[in-house]
Chains A and B, each alone.
Chain A
Amino acid sequence: MSVYKCFKSGIQQGFSRWRLAFYLWMISLLVSLITVVPLLSIIGKNLGHSLLGQPVAMPFELSLVEIFLNNQTLLGPYISLLLLFGLVLAFFSVFLNGGLFGRTLSAEKTNLRDFLADGTRFFWRFFLSLLTFIPFLLILLILYRILVSPLNLWTEKAVTEWPLIIASNLRLVFFLLFWSIFRMSLDLVRIILVKEDSRVIPSLRATFLFLRQHFFEFWGLFLLLGLVYLLLTLGFFFLGKLFSSQQLAGIIMTIILGQAQVFFRMLARIVFISAESCYYMVKKQN
């Protein structure tokens, strides 16, 4: 029952924190615009006044590929820039996660200043928590390799394609399940860090003790949230197929839907954290 209660509470709290999701959406838009502008300028410069190769009719996608191939000398520097940007963004993400957890788990109303303040406040502890989780991640990967090794034996002896297809997809499912354990555990450490304003090692210890007692139920909650998230994401995908990208109305709807999906991702993250926090608090009180 507490799983369902926390699931519901997580959704409610997630929607009440829509402003937080909005800040994150704005940041993601800005960051993405910065990285995508060089590509957009290539597209605009090459195709802005073009008849797209007519009368040699080609699908638009092939025209895009053509112009990127023709500008391939720019790709190397662009990718290097992207990697550097990615590194900077990695640190920035830890900062944003601090703000995200801080404001989600706070009873106060969300505003931008408090969000940034939380980011600063929790940055170092969140960064350390990530570093300390690397060994745990390695253990999970080893366990994953052990679990999928029978699949490898099976595919080695295959005489048709079916074992390969089934095994490949099973490996993906197992990987996602192991990843969910890693994600859920790291979330719990951070929830404890924020809720109890504690240090990293005590939070790790508390997480371990908590999971020893409530692992499967907690994981069940996480997987339930994940399943709903996946289904809703597929819903966005199918909705998007309804709109034609050739007409103005369709393009506008596609843009709105695309940004709605990004916003939904932010909101989903808040829901996850709220639900996990709710479950932790309920079980801790008991």
Chain B
Amino acid sequence: MKKKSNFLNHFFLVLLAFSLVAAAVLAAEERPVKYEISVELLPETQMIKARETITWTNLTQDYVPDLQLHLYWNAFKNELSTLAREARRENLFRRYSPKKDSWGWIKVLSLTTADGRDLINKASFISPDEPHNPDDETVLRVELPEPLAPGQSIRLNLEFQGKVPANGLRTGVYRDGYFISQWFPKPGVYEEGKGWNCHEYHLNSEFYADFADFLVRITVPQNFVVGACGEEVDRALDPKNGKATYTYRQDNIHDFAWTASPRFLKIERWFRGQEEVTPEEYQKMSELLGLPLEEVKLPDVKMILLIEKQHRKQADRHFKALRAAIKYYGLWCGPYPYRTITMVDPPFRTGSGGMEYPTLFTAGTSVLAPAQVLSPEGVIIHEFGHGYWYGMVANNEFEEAWLDEGINTYSTGRVAARAYGPGQLPLRFNGLPLNWFIKMPATYDWQTDRLFISTITRLDPVVNPSWKFYNSGSYSLNVYMRASTCLNTLERLLGEKTWARVMRTYQQRYRFKHPKTEDFIRVVNEVSGKDLTWFFDEFFRSTKDFDYGISQVQSQLKPEKWSGVFEPALAGNFAAQKGQTKNQGKPDQKTKEKIYQSTVVVRRYGEARVSPEEKIKLKVVFTDGSVEWREWDGQGRWARFEFEKPARIKQALLDPDGIWLMDSNLANNSYTEKGPVARIVSASTNLLWLMQNFWLTLSHLL
């Protein structure tokens, strides 16, 4: 017996081990790409040279005849790249201006398969987007010797060189400070039945790639401090050559950036899940989300800060903001799954601030940063948040940028509000913060986000390929602010509990996947139990303005006696039909109090409409303190509501619950007898005073 039970135990153990290994292998194989890169920074020439091995697996059922690689740095090669052409079109928001002697590029020197076949002659630049640009070199198509069958892998060995652009977008060099991003040849995403999703580098787009495992060795001069995505697993010094090689590893991310500068200070601290979140907060979250307590608990995370020495006094501010971000994103969306997060105060003048990469992000601050203004806190929270929206839930930033920028802008506002409250609007003059002397209005992000809707709605829909927006301004205001306002509206519509579950479900379901807008809508509908497709059609896919308002409020004394000719017989018949007394046309002797006939007219000024099921409420308050409620389906252009009461209308409020933040004009959503006279007089006199000083200054010039 003993022999038999030992055998069985061993058998089950082996089976368990086998299945664990199989699971691990399967999990690893679900990621189509592996990168192994060795790169050396050459500060004398501001170049990099590297060797890269890409292992790409065909996880689809298609036979794939080629590979398409992003070579992003070629966008900065000359004035004819797609990005440079699009930048020239911009007037007001010129985000990129190519400068002489600041060009950047990337060149693949050799490209071979694992068995030594040379593919460099099979490689050519393509322009997959409309309008085609034959001069753009940011997408390299490599024809494979034979199509790759489903499940088959190919290993490519590349040697490449790159010139770091001096004033590129999101990547750059200034003196000896480097921020290196989008620097290596990177395959696009192959979509089954559709082919390669590998866009050119556009001015107003970001990035899209498959989840992958990275092993990167970075060689820099010994005095450089290095930061990179993932964890540092090895370090080797070469004193003879004055170099150091840092090895970083991270699985399950879709991009890899790094930075090096001798002017960084590196500070490490820990986020401890048990210390940063109280048991009460965990309990509350567990109840809100309907999840077991263990699922909401947060792990420990190592926080690494690379901060320029000139900003060292702000290290605590940086960590405080990062802790808040890890805490609230973790509680609301799910625990942060990586062991490290690297936060970079980007090297001076490298143009790389405010950007996200998986497990690393850049913030950016100023030597004079008043505490009343949430900067750099806001950008830290936002860029960390991208680790969730884009880093883990990896939407196609080229085609549906709102899915990360809009959702993250909304999330950032929530975290900032919870951790800090409202922040003052910034005011600077010649680099000096005037917030120290002038108290600017303190606002929440959602308040400023909704301001520009009226200017932007008619230009473009929110769901739009990035390069098809009217200009950079329309892109930014639509995918960031308008999308965020739509989501804030949706939250108010569905309520805190339902919305919290929507966002958690979406994050958890599409972690490490590539969702689309339809996937988000599906989750919203599923968790809310309502069909809110109309909401997305009306506010995300259209260019219709949303504006409901009160156009007229009137209260008139009802006459005691109506004028006119009244036939007694007809009056009697009429009275019989209407069930009234025979005294029609004569004063009602019983009623002594005054009766008012009041009217409220509401209008739909914009083209966008609410769904007939989501009625808009109207609250009318009378001078005697009574309140009347009405509902309007909002479908027609206007509606009239009439009241007869012994009091006049004191106030009328459309959407009194403040749900429709999408409304481009909230001022007309209310009426009050006594308006904000003091505020208006104050604003008017300030305006007059400003104008007087303006004209005086002008006349004193002459």
Q: Which of A32, A55, A56, A159 contacts B263 (CB 8 A)?
A: A159
B666 x A47 contact (CB < 8 A): no
**Contacts A44-B680, A69-B455, A161-B366 given: A168-B431 contact, CB under 8 Å?**
yes
Stretch at the interface among A12-20, A60-68, A113-121, A206-214: A60-68
A54 x B698 contact (CB < 8 A): no
Q: Which of A31, A58, A168, A265 contacts B666 (CB 8 A)?
A: A58
**Contacts A55-B653, A269-B700 given: A62-B447 contact, CB under 8 Å?**
yes
Interface size, A (range) = 35 or more
Shortest beta-carbon distance from B693 to chain A in Å: 7
A160 x B651 contact (CB < 8 A): no
**Contacts A67-B665, A165-B432 given: A251-B687 contact, CB under 8 Å?**
no
Q: Which of B308, B669, B672, B698 contacts A86 (CB 8 A)?
A: B698
Shortest beta-carbon distance from A214 to chain B in Å: 23
How many Å lie between the Cα of A169 and that of B430 in the bound state? Answer: 6
B675 x A49 contact (CB < 8 A): yes
A53 x B430 contact (CB < 8 A): no
Q: Which of B447, B657, B682, B687 contacts A40 (CB 8 A)?
A: B687
How many Å lie between the Cα of A169 and that of B432 in the bound state? Answer: 9
A70 x B692 contact (CB < 8 A): no
Shortest beta-carbon distance from B650 to chain A in Å: 11
A162 x B672 contact (CB < 8 A): no
B367 x A66 contact (CB < 8 A): no
Residue numbers in A under 8 Å from B695 (CB-CB):
28, 31-32, 35, 89
**Contacts A59-B447, A62-B443, A165-B432 given: A47-B675 contact, CB under 8 Å?**
yes
Which residue of chain A lies nearest to B673 when distances are taken between CB atoms in the complex? Answer: A49
B702 x A52 contact (CB < 8 A): no
Residue numbers in A under 8 Å from B653 (CB-CB):
51, 54-55
B685 x A161 contact (CB < 8 A): no
Shortest beta-carbon distance from A92 to chain B in Å: 8
Residue numbers in A under 8 Å from B441 (CB-CB):
59-62
B689 x A50 contact (CB < 8 A): no
Shortest beta-carbon distance from A74 to chain B in Å: 13
Query: Please, what's the 1-or-0 string for B657-699, where 1 marks a CB less than 8 Å from any CB in chain A?
Result: 1100100111111111101101111111111110111011011
B679 x A52 contact (CB < 8 A): yes
Residue numbers in A under 8 Å from B651 (CB-CB):
51
B672 x A51 contact (CB < 8 A): yes
Q: Which of A36, A53, A94 contacts B702 (CB 8 A)?
A: A94
A39 x B687 contact (CB < 8 A): yes
Which residue of chain B lies nearest to A72 when distances are taken between CB atoms in the complex? Answer: B455
The interface centre, meaning the residue of B442, B670, B698 with most chain A CB atoms within 10 A of its CB, is B670
How many Å lie between the Cα of A158 and that of B263 in the bound state? Answer: 13
Residue numbers in A under 8 Å from B455 (CB-CB):
69, 72
- Whether A148 sits at the interface, judged by CB under 8 Å, is no
- Whether A77 sits at the interface, judged by CB under 8 Å, is no
A161 x B669 contact (CB < 8 A): no
- Whether B64 sits at the interface, judged by CB under 8 Å, is no
Residue numbers in B under 8 Å from A62 (CB-CB):
441, 443, 447-448, 451
Residue numbers in B under 8 Å from A246 (CB-CB):
678-679
How many Å lie between the Cα of A50 and that of B549 in the bound state? Answer: 11
The interface centre, meaning the residue of B348, B685, B693 with most chain A CB atoms within 10 A of its CB, is B685
B684 x A93 contact (CB < 8 A): no
Residue numbers in A under 8 Å from B447 (CB-CB):
58-59, 62
Further 15 A-B residue pairs, CB within 8 A, beyond A31-B695, A161-B367, A258-B685:
A29-B692, A36-B691, A43-B680, A43-B683, A43-B684, A46-B668, A54-B658, A66-B454, A159-B174, A159-B175, A159-B177, A258-B688, A258-B689, A261-B689, A261-B693
Q: 18 pairs across A/B with beta carbons < 8 Å? A: A43-B680, A47-B667, A49-B672, A52-B667, A53-B669, A56-B658, A62-B447, A66-B667, A86-B698, A90-B699, A159-B348, A160-B367, A161-B367, A161-B431, A251-B681, A255-B685, A262-B693, A266-B696
| Among all A-B residue pairs, the 6 with the closest Cβ atoms | A53-B666, A93-B699, A51-B670, A165-B431, A59-B441, A258-B689
